[in-house]
Amino acid sequence: MNLVTLAAIDEAAERIAGVARRTPLMEIAPLTGEPPIWAKCENLQAAGAFKIRGAYNTVAQLDDEARGRGVITYSSGNHAQAVALAARTLGAKATVVMPTTAPRIKVDGARELGAEVLFEGTTSQDRRVRAEAETASRGLTLVQPFDHEWIVAGQGTVGREILEQRPDLATVVVPVGGGGLVAGVSAAIKQANPEVRVVGVEPVGAATMTASLDAGRPVTLDRVESVADGLLPVRPGDLTFAHVQEFVDEVVTVDDRAIAEAVVWLHRRAKLVVEPSGAASVAAVRQMGADVRRPVVAILSGGNMAPDTLAACVELAG
């Protein structure tokens, strides 16, 4: 299986320039005197998450005929919005398949960007089957949510930027769902500087990559559950799994309370709106404490969070 190269990531960076933002790297200093955490603020990205990088890199490479027929994807929310934005920017029609449990803020976001929204089941497998059926019946072009080289290369531009913004980086911590972000970031960083430690983080209730690494192959979980709705695929991608095997040093898990505490901490301490999926990286850094090599960058992968989700995190955090 061919892994994404630095050249492909560089080409993606040129392709998405002017559409995806170069997000800031923000120093967040704990009040306790502990060393700071550097946050890569993809919560401030166009459409509220890193996903626009891979989505635009993919839709931009389709030919006119494919874009003319329209594109479709399946997503819990952030990739749906990213594909909708990429399609609108490039003059294509977008259809997105979302779970029946999708947060209203993400459904509304996709619709506001011009997408047709279909609902199917509660798992990534349910959405994938529906999207593939719609692709076949309507002649649409399927934009994979994570398991495609163009998606991985686009997400890899996050890692490329981090290295430019913080050349003395020692550790980067990356939220893991289907694995597109951690695959791209690890490919960008490890091929440029193998000494940097790359750590993936999953919710305890949705540790699909951890289970797959233990098995030595991608596995499908029977059930996933977490406050981090963007990190709930039941199976990692084949391509993303191969990247994690090759480039990621460690995958850790954090429980929902730790994730909620990180959401609240970022809101109160840094004045940042970060959804639970995006705050998982900070939860992991705080959990690792003195064991993490510094300087450490935590990728805040998304910020599409409704006020009621923040309130629920406040309650869960205690």
Residue 272 included in any domain: yes
Instruction: Write the CB contacts of 18 (distance below 8 Å, at least 6 apart in sequence).
Output: none
Residue 227 included in any domain: yes
Cα–Cα distance, 285 to 296 (Å, whole number): 8
Kindly indicate the confidence band of residue 60, based on its pLDDT and cuts at 50, 70 and 90: very high
- In the listed set 109, 142, 175, which residue is the last one of a domain according to the structure? 142
3-class secondary-structure state, position 116 = strand
Structure tokens at 271: 């004045």
pLDDT of residue 249: 98
95 and 156 inside one domain: no
59 and 121 inside one domain: yes
Residue 234 included in any domain: yes
Express each pLDDT in 90-100 by its tens digit: 999 999 999 99
pLDDT at 33 over 80: no
| Set 51, 76, 106, 212: catalytic member | 51
pLDDT at 296 over 80: yes
138 and 257 inside one domain: no
42 and 58 inside one domain: no
Q: How far is CA 275 from CA 53, 206, 214, 225, 272, in A?
A: 18, 16, 28, 16, 10
45 and 68 inside one domain: no
Express each pLDDT in 257-268 by its tens digit: 999 999 999 999
How are beta strands 250-254 and 71-74 bridged, if at all?
unpaired
Q: How far is CA 48 from the centre of its chain?
A: 11
Q: Which of 223, 225, 52, 244 is nearest to 125 (CA)?
A: 223
Cα–Cα distance, 243 to 265 (Å, whole number): 31
pLDDT of residue 34: 78
Beta bridge partners, 35, equal none
Count how many domains the chain has: 2
Residue 218 included in any domain: yes
Per the annotation, the verdict on 301 as an active-site residue is yes
Edge-to-edge strand list for the sheet holding 171-175: 25-28, 37-41, 296-300, 171-175, 197-203, 250-254
Express each pLDDT in 184-208 by its tens digit: 999 999 999 999 999 999 999 999 9
Residue 271 included in any domain: yes
172 and 208 inside one domain: yes
- In the listed set 142, 177, 204, which residue is the last one of a domain according to the structure? 142
Average pLDDT, the chain: 97
CATH of the domain at 170: 3.40.50.1100
Residue 115 included in any domain: yes
pLDDT of residue 159: 98
Which residue pairs, CB below 8 angstroms and at least 24 apart, start in 268-274?
A: 269/28, 269/30, 269/31, 270/26, 270/28, 270/39, 272/26, 272/39, 272/41, 272/43, 272/300, 272/303, 273/43, 273/303, 273/305, 273/310, 274/43, 274/300, 274/302, 274/303, 274/305
89 and 178 inside one domain: no
134 and 252 inside one domain: no
Per the annotation, the verdict on 271 as an active-site residue is no
* CB burial readout 141-153, b (16+ within 10 A) else e: bbbbbbbbbbbbb
234 and 293 inside one domain: yes
Beta bridge partners, 175, equal 201
Which 8-state DSSP code applies to residue 269? H
- In the listed set 115, 142, 169, which residue is the last one of a domain according to the structure? 142
171 and 36 inside one domain: yes
| Set 186, 226, 281, 301: catalytic member | 301
Structure tokens at 194: 């193998």
Residue 1 included in any domain: no
Residue 31 included in any domain: yes
166 and 91 inside one domain: no
Cα–Cα distance, 233 to 74 (Å, whole number): 11
39 and 56 inside one domain: no
Express each pLDDT in 136-182 by its tens digit: 999 999 999 999 999 999 999 999 999 999 999 999 999 999 999 99
Q: What is the span of the domain harbouring residue 121?
A: 52-142
